[in-house]
Structure 1
Amino acid sequence: MELDHLAVTCASLEEGAAWAEERLGVSLDPGGRHDRFGTWNRLLSLGPGLYFEVIAPEPGTTPAVPRWFGLEEAGAPRLGNWIARVPDLDAALAAAPPEAGEALALARGDLSWRVAVPPDGSLPWGGAFPTLIRWASGLHPAERLPDRGVRLLSLEVGHPRAPRLKALLSGLDDPRVTFVTADHPTLRARFSTPKGEVEL
């Protein structure tokens, strides 16, 4: 299991992108659309194999299923989700709590992937348990993004059951990720940017 990307969730992509750009001090790059869920995004490289996205409902879309990433109840921009890639999604889901969701196959252009999504579109454990993903064909969005000099320094995941969460994610060997006991699910990330350290 490896950290794949971080997601800022919000009701408006324009508002979310402006929020992130103001804080990080760099421009985000065009992303794409997710027709199944009626969402779209903007992206930012965080170095090899890792990226940052701002994701929101796309105006005028009415998906047949609930929007993923908890976006049915999207509000102001916030660091709302983290995504971890695994070599075998079916095996990872067999070992994960049921809230992790069900594997779905998605594609956009020459990118294809399988991702775990709860049927109601909610965030597993309020966003504290990562969305699990498996990219196909060796292609990864981070490889296509310009390097704007932003890197992830740390990701702190808070949850009332932090020890249990850490045990469930024992396959994630990344010193940047820590788990802390908190009253409610929280995500806090620190980045190095061209203007210095920034926390979201």
Structure 2
Amino acid sequence: MAGLDHIVYAAPDLAAGTAAVEALVGMRAAPGGPHPGVGTRNTLLSLGDDVYLEIIAPDPEQPEPANPRPFGIEGMAEGALVTFAVHASDGESIEDVTAAMRACGEDPGPVSAMSRLKPDGEEIHWSLTMSAGPGLVPFVIDWGDTTHPATVTPTGCTLVSLAGTHPDPDHINALYSALSLNVAVEAGDAVSLEAVLDTPNGQVVLS
């Protein structure tokens, strides 16, 4: 039904967030680009053939966006792993994935078109659902004809596993089962997410 597309590390400042991840994993994420109208920009680091890490933060070169920036960035005091994205499996569509989420009681919201300019000037396009905030309910993305970022960003790190805690783990695990996601969720008082990575610095936990 769905596959893991990327994990999202949000930070109040992009340079500081990128440096914090670099200190942990021993590699520096490459500039991605701004998200026009959203008020954010990112850096990217491959975690395998079809999965990557996005570090995202406010973009001070953009005007204040009409809507709050995604992933709870506005109120963050420090960087954290906040959520993840999934894409449809072969033979499935983004609409199939969103329908499965609705059947599990989660509304992923409408599918919206987005674009950004890469540092080399190339404009890339994709579609994604916009309602997911920070947490264990993923948002859904479709890269269309755009080359997947995992194949064109710095390599050397690998995602080993993704896990989380949630006050209602049965609901989240049922959602993941419906989406065919291999993400372990246990009971916890707070919602949390952590990724185990193989890196030049050895095996580390990003949370």
Taking structure 2 as the reference length, what is the TM-score of the superposition?
A: 0.86
Which of 101-110 and 15-24 deviates more?
101-110
Gaps of 5+ in 1: none
% identity of equivalent residues: 35
What's the offset of the Cα at 1:171?
4.0
Residue type matched to 1:113 in 2?
W
Taking only aligned residues, the RMSD between alpha carbons, in angstroms, comes to 1.7
Moved over 3 A (4+): 171-175
* Match in the other structure for 2:119: none
Match of 2:110 in 1: 102
What is residue 111 of structure 1 aligned with on the other side? Answer: 124
Amino acid at match of 1:45: S
Residues 92 and 173 of structure 1: CA distance in aligned 2, closer, same or farther (over 3 Å): closer
Q: Secondary structure at the match of 1:167?
A: helix
Determine if the alignment matches structure 1 residue 89 to structure 2 residue 102: no
Give the unaligned 5+ runs of structure 2: 117-121
Tell me the residue number matched to 2:4.
Answer: 3
Distance (Å, rounded) in 2 between the aligned partners of 1:65 and 1:164: 29
**Alpha-carbon offset, residue 105 of structure 1:** 0.8
2:158 maps to 1:154: no
Determine if the alignment matches structure 1 residue 143 to structure 2 residue 155. Answer: no
Amino acid aligned to 2:149: P
After superposition, residues 46-195 of structure 1 pair within 5 angstroms as 46-61=47-62, 62-86=64-88, 87-96=92-101, 97-108=105-116, 109-118=122-131, 123=133, 126-137=134-145, 139-147=147-155, 149-175=156-182, 177-195=183-201
Q: Which amino acid aligns with 1:157?
A: G
Contact 2:10-2:56 at 8 Å conserved across structures = yes
Alpha-carbon distance between aligned partners in 2 of 1:71 and 1:53, rounded to the nearest angstrom: 14
Counterpart Cα distance in 2 of 1:73 and 1:10 = 10
Instruction: Determine the C-alpha separation between the residues in 1 that align with 2:97 and 2:189.
Output: 27
Q: How many residues of Structure 1 are paired with residues of Structure 2 in the alignment?
A: 193
Instruction: Measure how far apart 1:101 and its partner are.
Output: 2.6
Q: Is the contact made by 1:46 and 1:152 (CA closer than 8 Å) also made in structure 2?
A: yes
- Determine if contact 1:104/1:117 at 8 Å carries over to the other structure: yes
Partners of 2:9 and 2:55 within 8 A in 1: yes
